[in-house]
């Protein structure tokens, strides 16, 4: 009998794919500066972003960045449009129970999704396909449609449960990218450290950027 490799990655490689629309999920893990900086960079690089965030993400954004994300998706969208000077063609915000959002269905094409930062609760829900909220459903769509999905897990230490869930996602082809900054570029500020991680996310999306010099440069 021919053996079947059940761990063959299901998500397609991005080597020739141009990323234009990115679904960005913000959860309640510490590390909100990574997610907000990624949002800023994607918009600055002329990408379209579909933003989804949890109630816990609102608390963390306020605590870590003094950033108030309104509970209303429409109010948040208006606030971010003004903040970044974009309109609805570039940035849309959806509530966690807004099941009519395009990222809830494979019939609408988001080229990639990033969950940054990702709680272990979100990781578990995505790994086990329990799509109780829009963020987890959007990630589930990315996996089933074979679209790039990047998870930026922020937890320490990691339990065996956490590692098993992350391994399950990695075996499906999900990119697990812990926010572990390098120091060979001699960071001078916290912003430099944040940019290192965001640069690695953009690299995985194959989106050119100038956030930091490359190794050897």
Residue 114 maps to a domain: yes
Residues 6+ positions from 107 with CB-CB distance below 8 Å: none
What are the start-end ranges of the H helices in 45-88?
A: 55-65, 73-84
Give the count of domains, the chain: 1
Residue 166 maps to a domain: yes
Least confident of 5-9, 82-86, 166-170: 5-9
CA pair distance 124, 151, nearest whole angstrom: 12
Residue 215 maps to a domain: no
pLDDT tens-place string over residues 117-158: 999 999 999 999 999 999 999 999 999 999 999 999 999 999
Residues 6+ positions from 43 with CB-CB distance below 8 Å: 49, 84, 86, 90, 91
Residue 6 maps to a domain: no
For residue 50, the enclosing domain spans 21-204
Q: What is the CATH number of the domain that holds 105?
A: 3.40.50.1950
The rounded Cα 47 to chain-centroid distance in angstroms is 14
Residue 210 maps to a domain: no
Closest CA to 93 of 121, 60, 52: 52
Residue 189 maps to a domain: yes
Residue 214 maps to a domain: no
pLDDT tens-place string over residues 59-113: 999 999 999 999 999 999 999 999 999 999 999 999 999 999 999 999 988 999 9
Q: Looking at residue 12, what is its pLDDT?
A: 52
Q: Retrieve residue 203's tokens.
A: 């690299």
Which SS3 state, helix, strand or coil, does residue 127 take?
A: helix
Scored b (16 or more CB within 10 A) or e, 59-85 reads ebbeeeeeeebeeebeebbebbbeeee
Residue 12 maps to a domain: no
């Amino acid at each position: 009998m021919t053996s079947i490799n059940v761990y063959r990655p299901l998500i397609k490689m991005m080597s020739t794919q141009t990323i234009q629309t990115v679904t960005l999920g913000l959860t309640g893990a510490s590390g909100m500066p990574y997610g907000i900086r990624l949002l800023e960079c994607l918009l600055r690089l002329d990408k379209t972003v579909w933003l989804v965030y949890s109630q816990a993400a609102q608390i963390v954004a306020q605590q870590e960045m003094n950033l108030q994300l309104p509970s209303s998706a429409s109010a948040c969208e208006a606030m971010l449009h003004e903040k970044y000077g974009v309109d609805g063609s570039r940035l849309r915000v959806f509530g966690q129970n807004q099941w009519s959002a395009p990222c809830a269905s494979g019939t609408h094409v988001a080229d990639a999704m990033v969950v940054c930062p990702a709680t272990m609760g979100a990781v578990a829900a995505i790994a086990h396909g329990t799509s109780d909220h829009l963020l987890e459903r959007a990630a589930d769509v990315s996996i089933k449609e074979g679209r790039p999905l990047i998870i930026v897990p922020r937890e320490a230490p990691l339990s065996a449960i956490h590692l098993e869930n992350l391994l399950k996602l990695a075996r499906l082809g999900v990119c697990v990218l812990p926010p572990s900054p390098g120091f060979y570029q001699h960071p001078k500020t916290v912003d430099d450290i944040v940019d290192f991680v965001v640069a690695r996310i953009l690299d995985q999306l194959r989106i050119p950027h100038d956030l930091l010099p490359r190794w050897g440069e």
